[in-house]
Amino acid sequence: MKRIGLVVPSSNVTVETEIPALLARHPERFSFHSSRMRMHQVSPEELRAMNAQRERCVDELADARVDALLYACLVALMAQGPGEHQRVEKEVRAQIDTVVLSSAGALVEGLQALGARRIALVTPYLRPLAEQVVAYLEAEGFAVVDWAALEVGDNAEVGCIPGDRVLGAARGLDLTGADALVISACVQMPSLDLVAPAEEEFGLPVLSAATAGAYALLRGLGLDPVLPGAGRLLAGAGRSAAHAPAPPTIGA
């Protein structure tokens, strides 16, 4: 049994359902343990205040002796500027002796595993934050060919965005030349049931913050990153990347 630690915004409910639902499809068994940072509005001010609570959350999960820790708020890191996931993951590794990952880093890793360079995004964020997510991914070397912002600022409401609205936003994107579609660049916006149908409809790899997080967790734990019905990333497309040496996860 592998213990997964999740550091989540207090108003987040989706990542604690989608990640377990994904990993339940794997032969390995997992348990899930969360620590929460207060955040309600997805705004620069509340994201900074939330990030300031990180050390307490990491200490709590260290007490649970988790085998891997996922900092599960993508925009909280991407809104702080390019390369923030690498800096934060390094700081957390200095605090806890375990595999350390972030949703922001997992999305980058998942796109790289697919060999995607030109991507499209659906985000729930207000436009200024969505622009920061786009800029972050472009700084990581991706070309964002088109993107959508659903303009939902209340994080609890993000967790209630219906799938047809998300899929409708994806249909409104110009996917010409895109290598992959990120149908939910947010662990709070539900999208797990949309990944496989969207791949069939659009004819290109589709991933979400949740499927990328599951991929990164499996790879970080040295497990086969293959899950049925979760899109091309978890259908074996990322196996070659998984067999490459993983980045260091323990120590400073």
Residues annotated catalytic, as ranges: 73, 186
* Chain centroid offset of residue 185 CA: 7
Tell me the C-alpha distance between 84 and 94, whole Å.
16
Kind of pairing between the strands at 68-71 and 118-123: unpaired
Q: Which two tokens stand for residue 229?
A: 């019905």
Contact predicate 15/76, CB 8 Å: no
Report the alpha-carbon distance of residue 31 to residue 22 in Å, rounded. Answer: 12
Rg (CA), the chain: 16
- The one-letter code for the residue type at 106 is A
3-class DSSP assignment, residue 59: helix
The residues with which 85 forms a beta bridge, in sequence order, are none
In sequence order, what DSSP letters do the residues of 123-154 get, joined into one string?
E-S-HHHHHHHHHHHHHTT-EEEEEEE----B
CA 152 vs CA 18, 85, 137, 169, 241: distances in Å = 20, 23, 21, 13, 34
With beta carbons less than 8 A apart as the criterion, state whether 125 and 102 touch: no
